[in-house]
Every structure is written in C-alpha cells, then in structure tokens.
C-alpha cells in the first residue's frame, strides 16, 4: 500500500510529526535549503530580468536522491517546511526537483502539536508563489549588493583588514552604520557639569521624606541643553529656567535655602495611573527581552525557540511542541487560545485580574506586519513551567518560562499605581517630593517588566520616595531635617546592546523577525563590532568599512533606502508588486552608484617593478601578486600588509586599574583587551564569544592560540576551568537535545556544517556564512 510522504526541514521536527501522523506517513527532513546561488560567481542574470541560477548545495546530493526515491513510491507528497518566506522557497525548490505537481500539497504547521498537525494536514494548500517571489527578490538583491560591493570594499581597506572576510550587506551594513553613528555621538559629546539641591523634611509626627529643589522664583531648574550655546539661545533659556552649573552656584543656593525656616506644603496631588500589560512576544521582542532579562544572545534565543517549537520529550506525554512558530511579527492570538488563557486567568488569579473583553494588540497600520502566524505563545497551558521544568535544560526552561508568563500577562488587567506629588514652598523656593504605591498589581502578579536604564536615572532615584507619609495636608508646616547638594554630569547616549540594536532596527522597519539574530551575529563575526560587557563597540576595521560604504554609497547604505526596499519586498509577498519592478527600482540607483566609485580606489603598485598588484586566490586564501608575472614574481600576504599598517585600536573604555584608555591587542593566546600603558600597567580583559562555558557554566568561551599559533577555544576562567575545543562552539542546540551547543566545522565534501560534541548529530551549514551577510539582510 502506498504511503504519504511529508517533507520537513529538521530531524527533530520530523520525529515529532511522525508520532502524530502514524504508520501511513513517512516524514523525511531536508535539513534546511537544498538549493542556493553559486558561491563562485554572481549567479544572477542581470540582463534577463534578474533570473537567479540556483545550484544544489554541496552535501545535499544524497538528501535529494532519497527524497526523489521516496516521492516516486508515495501516494501524496506534503511539503511542510517552515511557514515563512524561507520555508516557502524551500518548498518551491523541492517541488521543482520532484516535478510532480499533481500530488504535491503545501501544509503549514503554526504549532507542532497533535491537534495543530492534524488540522493542517486536513487543510492543505498550494505553494504561495508571491511569498516565493519575495524571498527570491530578497536573495537576489542581497547577493548583488554583497557580490558587487564586497570586492570594492576589500580593496579599499586591504592594508588594515588582514583578512579575506570583509563583506557588505543590505542590512548588516546599516546595522553597522547605526552602531558607528552612535559612537560618533558619544565621541563628540561634551560632558556638562550641573548640581542638584535636595532636602529631607520632617513632619510634626516625626515622619521624614526626601524632596528635590525644583524651582526658584518661578523658574524651573534645568540642565543646560547644550554645552555651547549661542547668546540668544542662552538668553531664551535663562528667561524660562535656571541652571546650577557649578559648585560655587550650588553653594550660594544651598546657603540661601538653609537659612529658611518657613517650609510648608503648598500643594498635594495624587494621581492614579495605569500600566498596561505588554503584548505577547513577536520575534524581535523575544530576542530583545531574552537578551535583557536572561542574558541570552539573539542567535541562542532563536536556536532554543526552534527546539521548543519542534518538540521536546515530556516523559509519559511523549514528544510535544511547546510553543507556536517563533518567526512572526504579528501580535494576533487565535480565538481558541484567547478563551483558554482567559479561563486560566479566572481560575488561577480571580475575576479582578480578567479584563471585560480580551486585550487586542494588533496594529492599526499593518502594512509592515506579516500576519500569517500568531504571536509566540505556549501551545497548551497544560504544560506550565512547573510541569516541564524537569524535562528542559536550564536555558530552555528560562526561555519557555519567559514566553509562558508574557502570554498570560498579555491578557490580564493593567496594574494600577497611585503617584503622590508633594510641593514644599519657602519664599522663592519650591521643592517637590515624589512617591508611588501599587493599588492593584494586575499583570505584574505574574510578569514584572524590566525597563532600560534611562539618562539621569541615578539622580532621579536620589529624591524618589518609596512611600510618602500618610496624613500630609496642604499648608502643613515642615521642619528641615537635612539639606544636601550633589554634583552631576550629563552623560552621552548609551551604546547599543544586542537588545537595543534589535529594537532600533525594528523601529526603523529594517530587516525582518527571522533575520535580526543573524544580522547582530554577522557584524561581530566579521570583526566590525566587538561586544564588551554587553555593549557593542565598532572596531577600527568596522569604522573604516562604515566610512567607505557611507561615503561612496550614501543612497544605498542608509536607513530610509533599506526600509523602503523592505517595504517593497513585503509588497511582493502580498501580491501588490512585481519581482522585476522591485529589482529594477533597486538596481538602477545601485548600478549608477557603483560606476561612480569603482575607479576611486587607489591601485596597489608592485614595489619591485611598478606594475599593478592583483588579487589572486590560492589554496591558502587570497593574496597579492604582480600583474607582470612571470617577469615579476612578487607576491604579498595581506597579513603582512595588515601588520605594517596596524595602529592602536581603542575600545572607547577606560582601564579599570589605572584609568588610561584600553586597546584591542593580539597576543599569543588570541585577541584581548589591554591597557594602552602596557607594560607600566598590566590590566587585561578577555573578549567573549557570547557563549557560556559548556563545562563550568560560570565562565564564557574565548578565542585562544596555542604555542604553535593554532586557534582554539577555552574557558575565560582557565586554569580554574580546563574546557578547551579545537572547534568554535556556537549557541545552537543539538537537534537531539544532547547538548546546548554545537561545534562549527568544515570539510571539503560537506562544506560548513555544525556537529554535536556528544551525539555527533550534524547540521549541514554550507550556506550559513553566505546567509549571514545576505539572507540575514
């Protein structure tokens, strides 16, 4: 009897789905993409409507052969690759290979549960050609940018790169620009000194509370807006407000206030405010929140979420998908799940926590929202964090608990806060005291929000009261218990963290949910950006790359152009635009920009014969060779050129030991941070790869070099922890859940792939490096 063939992407997903479908179905994984653009050439026919020339990915021949064999013996073929652009493109590639349209069906699993799988199988559809065209256009656009700009970029910074890994990308380059622009703001920022005066007042009952001097003679005390102001600007500023710029002025005001003894309450205002619950997670919000709350890198977040989506063994419950599909930018929740979560809230928290009608987070303007999927949510409230904890590793549990609590909180009532503002007057002086109390916890009963630290937050906390004494009345006299003056300095904008960078990209409409983790990872892998203490710093190489790209391609490498192209790609997916038109709109300005700059790069001249040096590719990578070969056999290593031109690369941070600047250095054990005054100061700091040590779970993995110069990876806590690996650990969970990390490997036959260090399960990743700079864009 003929069986039905179901094709999915991963072995873990295949195992879970096979359990639900039974013996009449064969479930086979494709292990990702089966076709890709060629690595050795552009692979796009620019003169023939941008026709892509896809080839079979190295190492996928056996996979395709097996799929063809199974398809020939199958009654029906169900292609169940992931329900997004990439999954749709894989589905189209498979359909083209099998060439059996009459028995091919497309099914979309929003969640890998028995009910979700059976429902999808009962409602098959066809491949969405609009979604495929959108993915193809994105792929081609990013290939053209990467293929055309990267060689130009490589020549431009050849003397400082020391590497062949330079690349440009439609979104990765804009992400780098945002980081560099922020660094420029920080560097040009001029710190301004200012002072505050605050008091401790005492009631006749002995209660005390803090208050800050808010105004003098009706003028609010404010920080000078700019370090250097035009005379007219300064006059306008002084007419409306007053500044305490230095200790002398602060001492003068302090003495005037300390001489007062007629303080009284001039006004009391109590306000009740709502704090609304956050929406259920979309992909970008999940990555940002996981980074902020549980210190999980975006790439690791997506790898763990993928595992939770595909299925986890839950003892007697068997394999169960725990969350809905994790690549989405929609906050929509199905009516069925809304009913389920409202019943849960009523039963576990009470009616007072349940809104009269469900909370709705859908955007009015949904032009940039891909609404094919729900928000990220648990598949069943039966599987509470307490229920699944013993079946999950530490990181998987923390992420699942975060998703669970956020989903429950999103359908609860707001928290109610009572804020009290007390004004205390004495002649020309007005002090203000602030205090707040929670009247009703609402959604915070299960989910406490953590906010980014804002500018001057420390100063504000100085005079904020946890509570204001009860019984205060207007015109009540107060005693001055203590008076203090405090010095402050304005602070530059904060550097981006991975979390805040993702939020910035999302707010500007740059990139898509499935690409953020790859974008953030790519700019670090290319050594354009370093992460130090969770902050992103542009390297010297990154600055130079950004300068060249922005200077020579200002109309391409900018936020507005990238966002507009993203919008046009979305229009293709929605059937509102055409593949060729969108690529024409992109390629015309890009081609003109490329022609204008291609002759600007200085030629590299042979120091022996005066002919131009050319880039050649050998078995050990790229190098420079004289174009006058064989008459002149001069060759040069790029590492030698790099070493000759290298200058100190400052991190922008200060030495913890002596206060001098810190720089990036390369030592016999790899790249690290050290003090510029070495050897006078021996301060050093390791640069983390963003992967927790798999052995001790306390340190983190760093690059090192052996005595023979071979690169390896070890724990930052060495010699207390002796973890080492010759292969780069990456935050990708094993598909069989045997390890929290995989090893990055390469072979001639397989290309780039990842391998589990425990069970040796493999994931073919030849396309991974290219997708970092192209598909991630």
Residue-level pLDDT at 367: 46
pLDDT at 165 exceeding the cut of 70 = no
Residue-level pLDDT at 227: 55
Indicate left, alpha or beta for 473 from its phi (over 0: left) and psi (-120 to 50: alpha).
beta
Please compute the mean of the pLDDT values over residues 305-331 and round it to a whole number. 90
pLDDT at 218 exceeding the cut of 60 = yes
8 Å CB contact between 705 and 671: no
pLDDT at 399 exceeding the cut of 60 = yes
Please compute the mean of the pLDDT values over residues 429-449 and round it to a whole number. 91
b/e sequence 19-32, b meaning 16+ C-beta within 10 Å = bbbeeebbbbbbbb
Residue 463 bears catalytic tag: no
Q: Going by DSSP bridges, is the β-strand pair 661-667/649-654 parallel, antiparallel, or unpaired?
A: antiparallel
**Tokens 């003397």, residue?**
159
**Which segments of 9-49 are extended strands (E)?**
25-29, 35-36, 44-45
Q: Cβ contacts of residue 322 below 8 Å, gap of 6+?
A: 308, 309, 311, 312, 378, 379, 383, 388, 400
The Cα 525–Cα 166 span in angstroms is 10
* Torsion angle in degrees (nearest 10) through CA of 325, 328, 330, 336: 0
pLDDT interval class at 364 (50, 70, 90): low
Model confidence pLDDT, tens digit, residues 703-755 = 777 766 677 888 888 888 989 888 888 877 777 777 878 888 877 566 677 88
Please compute the mean of the pLDDT values over residues 554-574 and round it to a whole number. 89
Please compute the mean of the pLDDT values over residues 267-287 and round it to a whole number. 92
Residue-level pLDDT at 461: 56
pLDDT at 32 exceeding the cut of 80 = yes
Residue 450 corresponds to which tokens in the numbers above?
Answer: 């953590």
**Which segments of 298-401 are extended strands (E)?**
312-313, 319-320
Per the DSSP assignment, residues forming a β-bridge with 267 are 423
Residue-level pLDDT at 13: 86
The Cα 123–Cα 119 span in angstroms is 6
Please compute the mean of the pLDDT values over residues 54-68 and round it to a whole number. 89
Vertex 283 angle, CA 380 and 319, to 5°: 35
Neighbours of 744 (CB within 10 A): 19
8 Å CB contact between 296 and 399: yes
pLDDT at 379 exceeding the cut of 80 = yes
8 Å CB contact between 178 and 550: no
8 Å CB contact between 536 and 179: yes
Radius of gyration of the chain (CA): 30
Residue-level pLDDT at 499: 87
Residue-level pLDDT at 465: 76
Element (H, E) at 104: strand 104-106
Please compute the mean of the pLDDT values over residues 232-242 and round it to a whole number. 75
Neighbours of 512 (CB within 10 A): 25
Residue-level pLDDT at 768: 38
Please compute the mean of the pLDDT values over residues 656-665 and round it to a whole number. 85
Helices marked H in 411-497: 457-462
pLDDT interval class at 16 (50, 70, 90): confident
Question: How many residues does this entry show for the chain?
Answer: 777
Residue 1 corresponds to which tokens in the numbers above?
Answer: 């009897």
Strand order in the sheet with 649-654: 649-654, 661-667, 670-675, 684-686
Neighbours of 375 (CB within 10 A): 27
Backbone φ and ψ of 623, nearest 5°: -155, 170
Residue-level pLDDT at 368: 45
Element (H, E) at 555: none
> Coil, strand or helix: which one is 733?
coil
Among the listed residues 475, 415, 469, the one whose alpha carbon sits nearest the alpha carbon of residue 446? 415
The Cα 401–Cα 318 span in angstroms is 20
pLDDT at 758 exceeding the cut of 90 = no
> Coil, strand or helix: which one is 616?
strand
Please compute the mean of the pLDDT values over residues 145-170 and round it to a whole number. 68
**Tokens 């007053």, residue?**
242
pLDDT interval class at 76 (50, 70, 90): very high
Burial of 1 (0-12, 13-18, 19+ CB in 10 A): exposed
Residue 666 corresponds to which tokens in the numbers above?
Answer: 């390369």
Residue 519 corresponds to which tokens in the numbers above?
Answer: 């974008």
pLDDT interval class at 693 (50, 70, 90): confident
The Cα 265–Cα 473 span in angstroms is 7
The pTM of the full predicted model, rounded to 2 decimals, is: 0.73
Q: Cβ contacts of residue 149 below 8 Å, gap of 6+?
A: 168, 549, 553, 594
8 Å CB contact between 324 and 309: yes
Residue 401 corresponds to which tokens in the numbers above?
Answer: 């608990």
By percentage, how much of the chain surpasses pLDDT 90?
A: 37
Among the listed residues 61, 32, 232, 38, the one whose alpha carbon sits nearest the alpha carbon of residue 754? 32
Please compute the mean of the pLDDT values over residues 571-590 and round it to a whole number. 91
Residue 632 corresponds to which tokens in the numbers above?
Answer: 């002149």
Neighbours of 219 (CB within 10 A): 14
pLDDT at 460 exceeding the cut of 70 = no
- What average pLDDT does the chain have? 84
Out of 78, 325, 587, 753, which one is annotated catalytic? 325
Burial of 197 (0-12, 13-18, 19+ CB in 10 A): buried
Per the DSSP assignment, residues forming a β-bridge with 291 are none
Using the Cα atoms of residue 568, residue 574, residue 578 and residue 583 in order, give the sign of their dihedral. positive
Residue-level pLDDT at 428: 92
**Tokens 């039963």, residue?**
347
The Cα 611–Cα 627 span in angstroms is 6
Please compute the mean of the pLDDT values over residues 654-671 and round it to a whole number. 78
Model confidence pLDDT, tens digit, residues 172-207 = 899 999 999 999 999 988 888 899 999 999 998 899
pLDDT at 582 exceeding the cut of 50 = yes
Among the listed residues 276, 275, 284, 289, the one whose alpha carbon sits nearest the alpha carbon of residue 404? 289
Residue 75 corresponds to which tokens in the numbers above?
Answer: 């009654």
Least confident of 62-76, 216-230, 357-371: 357-371
The Cα 247–Cα 194 span in angstroms is 8
Model confidence pLDDT, tens digit, residues 125-142 = 999 999 999 999 999 998
Per the DSSP assignment, residues forming a β-bridge with 319 are 313
What letter would DSSP give residue 676? T
Element (H, E) at 323: none
Element (H, E) at 173: helix 172-188
Please compute the mean of the pLDDT values over residues 594-599 and round it to a whole number. 76
What letter would DSSP give residue 388? H
Least confident of 498-502, 529-533, 594-598: 594-598
Q: Cβ contacts of residue 16 below 8 Å, gap of 6+?
A: 112, 310, 311, 319, 320, 321
> Coil, strand or helix: which one is 675?
strand
Neighbours of 452 (CB within 10 A): 12
Please compute the mean of the pLDDT values over residues 468-489 and round it to a whole number. 90
Residue-level pLDDT at 161: 52
Residue-level pLDDT at 777: 36
| Higher-pLDDT residue of 645, 330 | 330
Residue-level pLDDT at 632: 93
Per the DSSP assignment, residues forming a β-bridge with 605 are 612
The Cα 208–Cα 680 span in angstroms is 51
Omega within 30 of 0 (cis) for the link into 460: no
Element (H, E) at 686: strand 684-686
The Cα 297–Cα 284 span in angstroms is 12
């Amino acid at each position: 009897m003929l069986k039905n063939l179901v094709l999915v992407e991963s072995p873990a997903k295949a195992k879970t789905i096979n359990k639900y479908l039974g013996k009449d179905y064969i479930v086979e994984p494709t292990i990702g993409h089966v076709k890709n653009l060629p690595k050795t050439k552009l692979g796009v026919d620019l003169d023939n409507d941008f026709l892509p020339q896809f080839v079979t990915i190295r190492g996928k021949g056996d996979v395709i052969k097996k799929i063809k064999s199974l398809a020939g013996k199958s009654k029906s073929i169900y292609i169940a690759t992931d329900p997004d652009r990439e999954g749709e493109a894989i589905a189209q590639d498979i359909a083209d290979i099998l060439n059996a349209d009459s028995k091919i069906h497309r099914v979309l699993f929003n969640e890998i549960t028995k009910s979700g799988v059976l429902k999808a199988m009962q409602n098959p559809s066809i491949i969405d050609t609009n979604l495929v065209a959108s993915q193809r256009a994105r792929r081609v656009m990013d290939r053209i940018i990467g293929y055309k700009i990267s060689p130009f970029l490589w020549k431009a910074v050849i003397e400082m790169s020391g590497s062949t890994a330079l690349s440009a990308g439609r979104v990765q380059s804009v992400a780098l620009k945002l980081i560099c622009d922020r660094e420029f703001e920080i560097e040009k920022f001029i710190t301004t000194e200012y002072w505050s005066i605050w008091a401790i007042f005492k009631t006749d009952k002995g209660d005390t509370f803090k208050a800050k001097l808010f105004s003098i003679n009706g003028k609010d005390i404010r920080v000078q807006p700019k370090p250097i102001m035009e005379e007219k600007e300064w006059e306008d500023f002084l007419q409306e407000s007053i500044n305490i710029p230095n200790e002398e002025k602060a001492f003068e005001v302090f003495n005037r206030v300390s001489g007062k003894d007629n303080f009284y309450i001039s006004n009391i205002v109590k306000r009740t405010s709502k704090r609304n619950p956050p929406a259920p997670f979309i992909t970008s919000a999940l990555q940002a929140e996981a980074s902020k709350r549980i210190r999980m890198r975006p790439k690791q977040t997506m790898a763990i979420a993928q595992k939770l989506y595909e299925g986890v063994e839950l003892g007697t419950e068997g394999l169960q998908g725990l969350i809905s599909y994790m690549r989405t930018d929609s906050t929509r929740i199905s009516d069925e799940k809304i009913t389920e979560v409202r019943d849960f809230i009523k039963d576990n928290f009470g009616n007072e926590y349940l809104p009269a009608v469900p909370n709705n987070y859908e955007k009015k303007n949904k032009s940039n929202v891909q609404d094919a999927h729900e928000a990220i949510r648990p598949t069943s409230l039966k599987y509470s964090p307490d229920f699944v904890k013993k079946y999950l590793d530490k990181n998987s549990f923390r992420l699942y608990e975060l998703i669970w609590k956020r989903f429950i909180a999103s359908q609860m009532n707001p928290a109610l806060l009572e804020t009290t503002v007390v004004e205390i007057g004495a002649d020309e002086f007005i002090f203000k005291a602030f205090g707040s109390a929670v009247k009703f916890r609402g959604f915070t009963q299960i989910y406490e929000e953590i906010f980014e630290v804002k500018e001057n937050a420390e100063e504000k906390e100085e005079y904020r009261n946890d509570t204001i004494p009860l019984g205060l009345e207007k015109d009540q006299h107060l005693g001055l218990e203590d008076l203090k003056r405090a010095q402050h300095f304005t602070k530059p904008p904060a550097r981006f963290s991975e979390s805040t960078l993702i939020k910035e990209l999302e707010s500007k409409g740059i990139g898509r949910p499935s690409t953020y983790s790859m974008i953030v990872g790519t700019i670090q892998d290319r050594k354009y950006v370093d992460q130090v203490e969770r902050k992103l710093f542009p390297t010297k190489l990154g600055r130079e790359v950004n300068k060249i790209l922005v200077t020579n391609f200002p109309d391409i490498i900018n936020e507005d152009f990238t966002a507009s192209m993203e919008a046009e790609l979305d229009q293709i997916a929605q059937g509102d635009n055409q593949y060729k038109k969108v690529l024409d709109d992109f390629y015309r300005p890009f081609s003109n920009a490329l022609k204008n700059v291609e002759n600007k790069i200085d030629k590299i001249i042979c120091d022996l014969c005066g002919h131009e040096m050319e880039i050649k590719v050998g078995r050990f990578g790229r190098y420079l060779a004289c174009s006058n070969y064989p008459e002149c056999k001069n060759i040069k290593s790029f590492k030698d050129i790099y070493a000759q031109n290298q200058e100190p690369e400052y991190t922008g941070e200060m030495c913890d030991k002596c206060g001098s600047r810190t720089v990036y250095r390369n030592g016999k054990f790899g790249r690290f941070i050290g003090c510029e005054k070495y050897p006078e100061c021996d301060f050093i700091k390791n640069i983390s790869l963003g992967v927790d040590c798999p052995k001790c779970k306390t340190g983190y993995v760093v690059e090192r070099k052996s005595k023979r110069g071979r690169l390896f990876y070890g724990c930052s806590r060495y010699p207390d922890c002796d973890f080492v690996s010759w292969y780069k650990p990456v935050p990708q969970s094993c598909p069989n859940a045997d390890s929290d990390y995989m090893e990055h490997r390469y072979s001639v036959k397989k290309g780039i792939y990842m391998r589990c260090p425990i069970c040796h399960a493999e994931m073919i990743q030849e396309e991974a490096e290219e997708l970092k700079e192209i598909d991630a864009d």
